[in-house]
Structures are given as structure tokens and as C-alpha cells.
């Protein structure tokens, strides 16, 4: 299950997600697909995240899954998402 | 979901895009709370986005973070803020006539006013904080739980802030929203809190009847803050409100000094020694001119 880490503050707006590392910053801005995937991942594993993204955008799992997986991994590496073991493998 | 059809991947994480002020301030509340938690302090988020929605009128926006910190925890919080990249903009002594708040600034989160007490909330800052803290609630700002005063205390604090501000459309709307629109039960409940805390002077400054408290040491300070006055009148009011001889001596000594925080803000840099000396004499001339103008208006 992915979730927002305790050390990250978030403000979700219609056009962007703003994430601040606590306590000193910086503030990172996710727009478009980046914001969509970050929101879709909250409380879901990789399969659930892909399904949520597909529900919002259409397209086929084969096209979308590798990009979602890569971006989620990047968010986890940057500390903007937290995951349970095995989340990144679905 | 479903509000971004046609998502295009790859995705971008930006740190250079502009961040709206409203977002910056909400994240600022979260950042300050994380510092407060890290140092084990007690702080209440007041005003702005921490205000209960029922007390905000449409279009009322917060421009900075305001926190009321337990007096015993103030230095730990300020040290924590400094470690997290905040810089001091004004000190308690130079921030306002009440000397209640210091302003700090962060390049990402903007401004925070750290209150070591809340003007009007009672004569004893520790007792006042403990009373409000005991009935606190919590609100999420930036996804972080931030302690806030009870609804009654929020109403009172908005009124106290209006009571020490010169009347403006904003303060009038604040008073209308939190007090005039409140039902009789809420008003009675707030009045009981005023009695419990001994907050009568500041409360009267906001809702009327300030002159009933002429005999109180802090009356002149509220009168000058609400209705305006010269610099000399303000210093006289500060002297009258000072509770101890030591506080009065400190005020006299400080009256001789230039407010270097204010001068730095005007210059947008640290002033040189020559500029501080120049300001010392300019300030003296301004004070005399203000007094002459005030006497002319009065006669």
C-alpha cells in the first residue's frame, strides 16, 4: 500500500499537488499525470494505482503500467510516497 | 479522479513552478507544526487558514502563519525554526507596541508570526495559554494535525485582534462574521470565556465600551492601537502598561534605540552603522513633527 510519508505535507488542488518536505522544504509541484498518479496511489498498491489511472485516462494496461510503475518508483525514491514491501511489484 | 483525461507520461516533478500564496501558507502551518512537534513544544495555530470555516467570510485569505506558543517553549521553537531554515525578520520587542510576536521568514513557506502571548487574552500569559490549550481542538493543514483553540476562543481571538487594529473593512467584516452574526448562545459562551480569562479590555475594544476601562493600565495601549496616536503617545501607553519597574526601565532604554529590524526591512538589507546613526536623528525630528501636528489638530 502506498501512502504519503509523515515527513511530507500536501495540499491537493484542482490543477496540481503541492508537496513539502518537513520541516525545511523544498516544495515540489506535481501537475498533470504526475499529480494524477500521486493521488491515485494513496491507499492502493501498484495494481490498484494502475487501475485508478486507467479509470481516469483510458488507454490499455500494457501502455500505462510501465510508466506508472516507473513514476511511482521515482516518487518512493524521492520520499514523496511511502510503500509497504512488495508494492512496487504489484 | 477522472479530472485529467488524456494523461501524458512521462511525469514531471517541479521545484521551480510558482506556488500560490494560499498553498505556501498552508504548507507553512504544517512545517511550523513539525518543528513544534520535534522540539516537544505546545503551540496553537490561530487566525488565517487555522480559523474555523464558520468564522471566515468569503474571500478572507491568510497571508502568513500565526502560532501562539506556550511561554516556556518559545526559545525551543525559535531554535527549531532557525535549524529548519527560518530567519528572524523582527524581534518581539520591535514587532509591535504590545511586544507579543516575532516574525520569521522561510524561503519556501513565507512568514510566521510566533506569539509569546496573545494581547488581551489575560494578564498572565501562562495562565491564558493553559486555559485555551485545555480546551483545544485540531485541524488538518497541509495534511498535518495542528492544534487550534476552541471555537469560543477563536471568536475571542479574532475580536481581540480587531480590537488592536485601526478600523478597516477587513476588521469590520471580521467582527460582523464572528460576533454580530453569532447566535445568543455563542455570544454568551464567549462572554463567559472573557470573564474567565479577564479579557474585558481587549474585548471591549472590539465590540464597544473601551472607555469603561480607563482605569486599567493597558487602556491607553488599546486606545492608541485602535484609534491611532503619535509615537510619544504610544510610548507613554507602553510605559503605563508595563507591569514592573524593570519592564519600564527596559522600555526607556529601548526608546533611545533605533528599530534596526524596521530599518533593515525598509532598506532590504542590514543597515550600516552610519545609516543607524542617521536614522537616530531623523527619527527624533519625525517625533517632534508628529507632536507639533497633533497639538495643532487638538487646538
B2: pLDDT strictly greater than 60: no
pLDDT for the residue B284: 67
Percent of chain B with pLDDT over 70: 86
A32 to chain B: which residues are within 8 Å by CB?
4, 7-8, 11-12
Using the predicted structure, report yes or no on whether residue B29 has a pLDDT greater than 80. yes
Q: How high is the mean pLDDT of chain B?
A: 87
Percentage of chain B exceeding pLDDT 90 = 59
Residues 6+ apart with CB under 8 A from B11: A30, A32, A33, A34, A37, A67, A71, A74
Check: CB of residue B63 under 8 Å from CB of residue A55. no
Cell numbers describing residue B265: 526591512
Q: Chain B contacts of A58, Cβ < 8 Å?
A: 5-6
User: Residue B6 pLDDT > 70, yes or no?
Assistant: no
Nearest residue of chain A to residue B5 (CA atoms): A57
pLDDT of res. B83:
98
Interchain CB distance below 8 Å, B2 and A24: no
Q: What is the pLDDT at residue B298? A: 64
**B125-173 residue pLDDT tens:** 999 999 999 999 999 999 999 999 999 999 999 999 999 888 899 999 9
Of A13, A14, A33, the CB nearest to B9: A33
Rg (C-alpha) for chain B, rounded Å, is: 21
Burial classification of residue B174, based on how many CB atoms lie within 10 Å of its CB (0-12 exposed, 13-18 middle, 19 or more buried): buried
> Is the preceding omega at residue A26 within 30 degrees of 0, hence cis?
yes
| pLDDT tens sequence across B168-185 | 999 999 999 999 999 999
Dump pLDDT digits (tens) for B209-240.
999 999 998 888 889 888 887 777 777 777 77
Q: Distance (Å, rounded) from C-alpha A90 to C-alpha B33?
A: 35
Residues 6 or more apart whose Cβ sits within 8 Å of residue A52: A40, A44, B1
DSSP state, residue B17: S
pLDDT in tens, B76-110: 999 999 999 999 999 998 777 778 999 999 999 99
From chain A, the residues in CB contact with B144 under 8 A are 9, 22
Place of cell 490499455: A60
Q: How much is the pLDDT for A75?
A: 95
Which residue from A90, A45, A25 is spatially nearest to B81, judged by alpha carbons?
A25
Distance CA B57, CA B162 (A): 15
What domains appear along chain B, each with residue ranges and CATH number?
21-256 (3.30.460.40)
pLDDT of residue B267: 77
Q: What is the pLDDT of residue B204?
A: 96
Name chain B contacts of A11, Cβ cutoff 8 Å. 23, 26-27, 142-143
Please tell me the predicted confidence (pLDDT) of residue B3: 40
Nearest to B129 by CA among B68, B187, B82: B68
Question: What separation, in Å, do the N-terminal and C-terminal C-alpha atoms of chain A show?
Answer: 10
How many CB atoms are closer than 10 A to CB A88?
14
Q: Which three cell numbers stand for residue B35?
A: 518543528
Is the confidence at residue B274, as pLDDT, over 60?
yes
Give the torsion sign (CA, A29, A34, A40, A43): negative
Q: How far is A85 from chain B (nearest CA, A)?
A: 24
CA distance A73 to A2: 11
Distances B283 to B90, B131, B135, B261 between C-alpha atoms, Å: 19, 41, 45, 14
Predicted pLDDT of residue A61: 87
Q: Give yes or no for residue B1 having a pLDDT over 60.
A: no
User: Could you read off the pLDDT of A30-67 as tens digits, one per residue?
Assistant: 999 999 999 999 999 999 999 999 999 888 888 899 99
DSSP B152-184: HHHHHHHHHHHHTS---HHHHHHHIIIIITS-H
B292, burial (CB in 10 Å: exposed 0-12, middle 13-18, buried 19+):
exposed
Number of H helices, E strands in chain A: 3, 3
Any CB–CB contact under 8 A between B256 and chain A? no
What pLDDT does B148 receive?
98
Amino acid at each position: 500500500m502506498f501512502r504519503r510519508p509523515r515527513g511530507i505535507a500536501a495540499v491537493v488542488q484542482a490543477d496540481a499537488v503541492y508537496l513539502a518536505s518537513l520541516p525545511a522544504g523544498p516544495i515540489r509541484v506535481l501537475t498533470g499525470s504526475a499529480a494524477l498518479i500521486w493521488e491515485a496511489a494513496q491507499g492502493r498498491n501498484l495494481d490498484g494505482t494502475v487501475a485508478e489511472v486507467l479509470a481516469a485516462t483510458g488507454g490499455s494496461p500494457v501502455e500505462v503500467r510501465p510508466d506508472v510503475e516507473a513514476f511511482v518508483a521515482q516518487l518512493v525514491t524521492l520520499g514523496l510516497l511511502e510503500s509497504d514491501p512488495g508494492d512496487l511489484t504489484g | 479522479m477522472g479530472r485529467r483525461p488524456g494523461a501524458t507520461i512521462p511525469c514531471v516533478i517541479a521545484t521551480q513552478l510558482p506556488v500560490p500564496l494560499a498553498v505556501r501558507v498552508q504548507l507553512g502551518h504544517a512545517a511550523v507544526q513539525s518543528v513544534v512537534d520535534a522540539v516537544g513544544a505546545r503551540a496553537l495555530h490561530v487566525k488565517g487558514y487555522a480559523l474555523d470555516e464558520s468564522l471566515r467570510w468569503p474571500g478572507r485569505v491568510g497571508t502568513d502563519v500565526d502560532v501562539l506558543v506556550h511561554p516556556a517553549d518559545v526559545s525551543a521553537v525559535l531554535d527549531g525554526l532557525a535549524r529548519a531554515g527560518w530567519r528572524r525578520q523582527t524581534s518581539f520587542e520591535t514587532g509591535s507596541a504590545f511586544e507579543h510576536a516575532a516574525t520569521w521568514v522561510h524561503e519556501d513557506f513565507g512568514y510566521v508570526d510566533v506569539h509569546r502571548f496573545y494581547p488581551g487574552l489575560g494578564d498572565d500569559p501562562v495562565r491564558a495559554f493553559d486555559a485555551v490549550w485545555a480546551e483545544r481542538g485540531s485541524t488538518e493543514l497541509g495534511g498535518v494535525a495542528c492544534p487550534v483553540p476552541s471555537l469560543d476562543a477563536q471568536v475571542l481571538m479574532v475580536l481581540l485582534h480587531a480590537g488592536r487594529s485601526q478600523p478597516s473593512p477587513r476588521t469590520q467584516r471580521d467582527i460582523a462574521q464572528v460576533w454580530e452574526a453569532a447566535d445568543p448562545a455563542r455570544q454568551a459562551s464567549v462572554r463567559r470565556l472573557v470573564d474567565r480569562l479577564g479579557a474585558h479590555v481587549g474585548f471591549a475594544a472590539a465590540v464597544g465600551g473601551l472607555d469603561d476601562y480607563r482605569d486599567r493600565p493597558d487602556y491607553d495601549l488599546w486606545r492608541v492601537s485602535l484609534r491611532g496616536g503619535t509615537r510619544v503617545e504610544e510610548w507613554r501607553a507602553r510605559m503605563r502598561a508595563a507591569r514592573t519597574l524593570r519592564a519600564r526601565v527596559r522600555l526607556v532604554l529601548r526608546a533611545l534605540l533605533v528599530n534596526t529590524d524596521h530599518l533593515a526591512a525598509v532598506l532590504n538589507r542590514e543597515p550600516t552603522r552610519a545609516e543607524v546613526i542617521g536614522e537616530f536623528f531623523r527619527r527624533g525630528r519625525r517625533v517632534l513633527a508628529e507632536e507639533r501636528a497633533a497639538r495643532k489638530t487638538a487646538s
